[in-house]
Amino acid sequence: MPEEWLIIATSWVMWLIGFITAGNALIQTLLFYRVARRVGEKIKMKPEILKEGLRAALITSIGPCMGIFVGMVTLVIALGGAVAFIRESAGVGSIMFELISARIGAEAAGVKLTREDMTLLGLCLCLWTMAVGSVEWVIVGGVLTRWLPKLRDAMGGGDPKLIGLISVAMMLGAFGRMLVRDDVIPTILAMSIRPTLIAGIIGIIVTVIWIKFAEKLKKPWLKEYFMLLALLIGMIITQLLVNAGVVK
């Protein structure tokens, strides 16, 4: 007979809460979708451009979703499928945030974040910490977003070229940081080549070759596969090198 906390954590009510959580996010996206499609056509964007954007997004999201799928295993094992579904379908945090907050909750209850060690108090505190640690993002996003376009307009001064340039610069800033933090710094600190550096370099090479190739052929739709290719090739080659003992 499973323990009481596990019976509650995997009960039909918890699954229902999962569907309510995911459902609210779906309602939001459906409302947004209607507006975006209608206004997109009204400002005379070609329907096939909108369709192409959607297609590219679906194909590109396969890779990150595979990562989320595999990453969820720890959460499912620790707290059961229903809680993992509530938190990952639309719970703001990334897997990393969920694991950190679950661990903090478990620690406050004096237990470890494992199925054997978990208790009812531990479950209460895990769920509590996940909620109080992430609700602020939803409130800040929900309330603050309406004021943010003013900030961007102030920076770009209404010049579309400059606003485009600023967006590119911001993206390079955000992802330059990710690239350095996860891929480059571990190698610098360890003074030996780490697998993450290899993966990052492969990601760069595959992307440059593929995008240049698509542009040369004048087939922009080919670009929609670059991210999927980059991460698959990056994962496979890096893992082969790790297995062969070339990098550790």
Looking at residues 73 to 132 of the shown chain, list those that interact with another protein (rule: CB under 8 A).
Answer: 73, 76-77, 81-86, 88-94, 97, 100-101, 104-105, 107-109, 120-121, 123-125, 127-129, 131-132
The amino acid occupying position 239 is: Q
Which x/- pattern, by CB under 8 A, does the window 196-225 give for another protein?
Answer: xxxxxxxxxxxxx--xx--x----xx-xx-
Is 47 within 8 Å of 74 (Cβ atoms)?
Answer: no
Quick one: which of 2, 47, 67, 192 contacts another protein (CB under 8 A)? 67
Smaller CB distance to another protein: residue 112 or 207?
207
Closest C-alpha among 98, 92, 82 to residue 18: 82
**How many Cα atoms occupy the beta-carbon half-sphere of 203 within 13 Å?**
14
Query: If phi over 0 gives left and psi between -120 and 50 gives alpha, with beta otherwise, what is residue 157?
Result: left
Interface with another protein in residues 47-66 (CB under 8 A): 49-50, 52-58, 60-66
Smaller CB distance to another protein: residue 1 or 227?
227
The label of the residue with tokens 């720890």 reads 74
Interface with another protein in residues 133-152 (CB under 8 A): 133-146, 148-149, 151-152
Smaller CB distance to another protein: residue 118 or 198?
198
In angstroms, how far is the first alpha carbon of the chain from the final one?
A: 43
192 touches another protein (CB under 8 A): no
Is 133 within 8 Å of 97 (Cβ atoms)?
Answer: yes
Size of the site for another protein (CB under 8 A): 165
Residue 10 DSSP symbol: T
Which x/- pattern, by CB under 8 A, does the window 149-178 give for another protein?
Answer: x-xx--xx---xxxxxxxxxxxxxxxxxxx
